[in-house]
């Protein structure tokens, strides 16, 4: 049975407001330049301590084995590197679509690391947790750091930035996308000239694009159709390698109107952008 005391924490979505592919590295990964921003919407994790050292997870993720589950991997790795004898019972309320380009699995892993660091009173600094997160996936460190960021390398070299924080409507076109198929496609743009962070920010929203979008459009007609439709209503873009796309809107009432128009066509939600992660806000509210 779990011990008394629990933490319930958000695992927010992210958007890639911009994504350039500047080359392919010797290790096979692609070199990226991107702008990460959080949404005030995502999964929720509830973490309760266990005295027996066991890590238990209540969640059903189709096609994800225990060995591949980032929540379990994060918890067990944190146990291993700290030598703690504490355990945890973790419950996941999954709201973000899997494989949608919103970073759901990476965000769940980061919330697990930060939540258990607090629950188990380990007091590891963010830098250590971010390094641990990188072992789990390239997107985990930005969720651990908790601030909108300019990302380089494979997305792990992060510089905090302040982006505009409009409302977004995020649409899932109802198709699963294989990241490997996108990054392996011969037609994928891999030679965008690198730019500085300052130039990216000075160029502003109108200049931002996702180099994966033309390839995803070609491989997945459902995404192309959704992008075409959404783009007639508001400035729209693919996030990550998809499948989710997002529209940028100035006011909440505009987001509500667009959601009403989408209706039953696709799965969709609205959320404001955030430069500071809702996870870090929640942890601050629960500070001892």
- Which residue out of 108, 139, 211, 254 is catalytically annotated? 139
Q: Are 155 and 264 spatial neighbours (Cβ–Cβ below 8 Å)?
A: no
Q: What value does the mean pLDDT of the chain take?
A: 94
Rg of the Cα trace of the chain? 19
Higher pLDDT, 178 or 2: 178
Q: Quick: pLDDT tens for 8-46.
A: 999 999 999 999 999 998 888 899 999 999 999 999 999
Q: Quick: pLDDT tens for 174-202.
A: 999 988 899 999 999 999 999 999 999 99
Give the lowest-confidence range in 3-7, 251-255, 274-278. Answer: 3-7
Q: Answer whether residue 253 shows pLDDT above 50.
A: yes
Give yes or no: 94 in active site. Answer: no
- 77-95 in b/e form (b: 16+ CB < 10 A) is bbbeebeeebbbbbbbebe
Q: Answer whether residue 276 shows pLDDT above 80.
A: yes
Give yes or no: 67 in active site. Answer: no
- Which residue out of 14, 40, 254, 270 is catalytically annotated? 14
CA angle at 250 for the pair 273 and 232, rounded to the nearest 5°: 105
Gap between the Cα atoms of 169 and 250, Å rounded:
11
Gap between the Cα atoms of 274 and 246, Å rounded:
15
Phi-psi region of 83 (alpha: psi -120 to 50; beta: other; left: phi over 0): left
Q: Quick: pLDDT tens for 49-80.
A: 999 999 999 987 776 777 789 999 999 999 99
Q: Are 112 and 57 spatial neighbours (Cβ–Cβ below 8 Å)?
A: no
Collect all residues with Cβ–Cβ distance below 8 Å to 97 and sequence separation of at least 6.
104, 172, 243, 244, 267
Query: Quick one: pLDDT band at residue 288, thresholds 50, 70, 90?
Result: low
Residue found by looking up tokens 């355990």 in the block: 87
């Amino acid at each position: 049975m779990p011990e008394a005391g629990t933490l319930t924490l958000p695992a927010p979505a992210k958007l890639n407001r911009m994504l350039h592919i500047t080359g392919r590295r010797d290790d096979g990964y692609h070199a990226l330049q991107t702008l990460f921003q959080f949404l005030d919407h995502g999964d929720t994790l509830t973490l309760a301590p266990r005295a027996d050292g066991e890590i238990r997870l209540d969640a059903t993720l189709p096609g994800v084995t225990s060995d591949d589950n980032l929540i379990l991997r994060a918890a067990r790795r944190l146990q291993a590197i700290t030598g703690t004898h504490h355990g945890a019972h973790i419950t996941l309320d999954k709201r973000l679509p899997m494989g949608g380009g919103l970073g759901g699995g990476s965000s769940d892993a980061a919330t697990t690391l930060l939540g258990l660091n607090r629950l188990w009173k380990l007091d590891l600094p963010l830098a250590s947790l971010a390094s641990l997160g990188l072992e789990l996936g390239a997107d985990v460190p930005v969720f651990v750091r908790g601030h909108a960021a300019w990302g380089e390398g494979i997305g792990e070299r992060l510089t905090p930035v302040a982006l505009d924080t409009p409302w977004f409507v995020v649409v899932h076109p109802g198709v699963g996308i294989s990241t490997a198929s996108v990054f392996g496609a011969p037609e994928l743009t891999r030679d965008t000239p690198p730019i500085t962070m300052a130039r990216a920010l000075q160029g502003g929203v109108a200049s931002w694009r996702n180099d994966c979008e033309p390839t995803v459009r070609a491989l997945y007609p459902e995404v192309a159709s959704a992008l075409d439709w959404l783009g007639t209503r508001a400035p729209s873009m693919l996030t990550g390698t998809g499948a989710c796309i997002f529209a940028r809107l100035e006011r909440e009432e505009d987001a509500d109107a667009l959601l009403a128009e989408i209706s039953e066509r696709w799965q969709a939600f609205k959320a404001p952008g955030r430069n500071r992660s809702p996870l870090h806000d929640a942890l601050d509210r629960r500070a001892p």
